[in-house]
Amino acid sequence: IDLSTSDLSGIVADIAEEMKAAPDRGTPAAYIPPLAKVDPAKFGMAVIEADGTCHLAGDAEETFSIQSISKVFALTLALGHVGDQLWKRVGREPSGSAFNSIVQLEFEHGIPRNPFINAGAIVVADILLGRNEPREAIGEMLRFVRTLAGEDDIVIDREVADAEAATGYRNAALASYMRSFGNIHHDVERTLGVYFHACALAMSCRQLALAGRYLMAGGMLPSTGRRIVSAQRARRINALMMTCGHYDGSGEFAFRVGLPGKSGVGGGILAIVPGRASVAVWSPGLNERGNSQLGTLALERLVQRTGWSVFEPA
Ligand code: GLN
């Protein structure tokens, strides 16, 4: 499909309009008050093309809790710290289980299946902690995301971070269980502090799409010419997003959308069209697997109309 910039603007605007009439918006997460109080009617979409052209629709400028989408940025940063040694502590296979599942950890001796389920991201947080204080690791994570997006006003929502910590029994269980196998190296409260603050990053669709550009551009930050990761590492992170980015809904997302994508329980999804675009969508209502209902639908329609699936012949 030959697309002009104005075609793409029209497509993005049309999709946002269509989402207003969608019959089933899913159910927003309610496990913490700051997520439960978000207006379920919100919908935002941001598409940033390789040349930097930005298409926004709906609530694309409104910040929301990026939650598990932060697992992509945390993994990228942790790989920068320890390189491929990281894979001794975290697997690379889809789990087929819920995002917060503990069952596979027993059979796999405390090695989580992949970095995008909670257990895997908690190990990644433990790596980010390294020899630092949690406050420093959290600060490094925030600075990294600001660099990726090229925006200094991105913040961590303290109310969300505190609520995650106050209710995070399941995450505490995962961390303690992995610690019993020696795969968490710090006090679990300290590691979880890093994990919860990363989940609590507040970003808009526009900021998220900006932050995802390095994965579209073979590891380079397009606006600056600065390399964030090697081309091989960017390709591998995209592969993990495709196979593991939507938990036990990853196969369904690949089937319907066909792009590397990472969802968060706040209703956001970051999707990468290698070489072409970085896309972020947000709608708080979730499907039964905890992935944004309308966010997925919007991406499905975007891919239908642009031919952007990675499985489409060029
Ligand atoms: N903060 C959430 C949790 O740890 C993140 C999960 C998600 O976005 N799916 O449970």
Are residues 263 and 282 located together in one domain of the fold? Answer: yes
Structural domain ending residue among the three candidates 139, 172, 201: 201
Are residues 39 and 150 located together in one domain of the fold? Answer: no
Residue 311 included in any domain: no
CB-CB contact of 172 with 180 (8 Å) = no
Chain segment 94-120, per-residue pLDDT in tens: 998 988 999 999 999 999 999 999 999
Amino acid letter, 92: R
Are residues 211 and 191 located together in one domain of the fold? Answer: no
Are residues 73 and 178 located together in one domain of the fold? Answer: yes
Mean pLDDT of 62-68: 98
Q: Is 70 in the pocket of ligand 1 (CB under 6 A)?
A: no
Are residues 195 and 73 located together in one domain of the fold? Answer: yes
118 is in an annotated binding site: yes
Q: Which domain holds residue 243?
A: 5-63+204-306
Question: If you measure from the C-alpha of residue 284 to the centroid of ligand 1, how many angstroms do you get, rounded to a whole number?
Answer: 13
Substitution candidate for ligand 1 out of 35, 100, 244 with most atoms within 8 A of CB: 100
Are residues 229 and 266 located together in one domain of the fold? Answer: yes
The first and second tokens of residue 294, run together, are 């309308």
Are residues 56 and 73 located together in one domain of the fold? Answer: no
> Can you give the pLDDT at residue 299?
98
**Ligand 1 atom nearest residue 196's Cα:** 1
Q: Which of 90, 195, 229, 250 is catalytic?
A: 195
Substitution candidate for ligand 1 out of 65, 66, 118, 289 with most atoms within 8 A of CB: 118
> Can you give the pLDDT at residue 3?
85
pLDDT band for 19, please (50, 70, 90 cuts).
very high
132 is in an annotated binding site: no
For the chain, how many structural domains are there in total?
2
Chain segment 33-58, per-residue pLDDT in tens: 999 999 999 999 999 999 999 999 99
Are residues 53 and 83 located together in one domain of the fold? Answer: no
Q: For residue 269, which phi and psi values (nearest 5 degrees)?
A: -140, 130
Distance, in Å, from the CA atom of 266 to the CA atom of 283, rounded to the nearest integer, reads: 8
Question: If you measure from the C-alpha of residue 158 to the centroid of ligand 1, how many angstroms do you get, rounded to a whole number?
Answer: 15
Residue 223 included in any domain: yes
Are residues 87 and 54 located together in one domain of the fold? Answer: no
Residue 4: is its pLDDT beyond 90?
Answer: no
Mean pLDDT of 171-192: 98
Mean pLDDT of 153-169: 98
Average pLDDT, the chain: 97
Give percent above pLDDT 90 in the chain: 95
Are residues 34 and 86 located together in one domain of the fold? Answer: no
Residue 242 included in any domain: yes
Q: Is 12 in the pocket of ligand 1 (CB under 6 A)?
A: no
Structural domain ending residue among the three candidates 133, 167, 201: 201
CB-CB contact of 38 with 28 (8 Å) = yes
Structural domain ending residue among the three candidates 150, 181, 201: 201
Other CB atoms within a 10 A radius of the CB of residue 239 amount to 13
CATH of the domain at 140: 3.40.710.10
Are residues 29 and 148 located together in one domain of the fold? Answer: no
Chain segment 214-224, per-residue pLDDT in tens: 999 999 998 89
Residue 314 included in any domain: no
- CA contacts within 13 A on the Cβ side of 168: 26
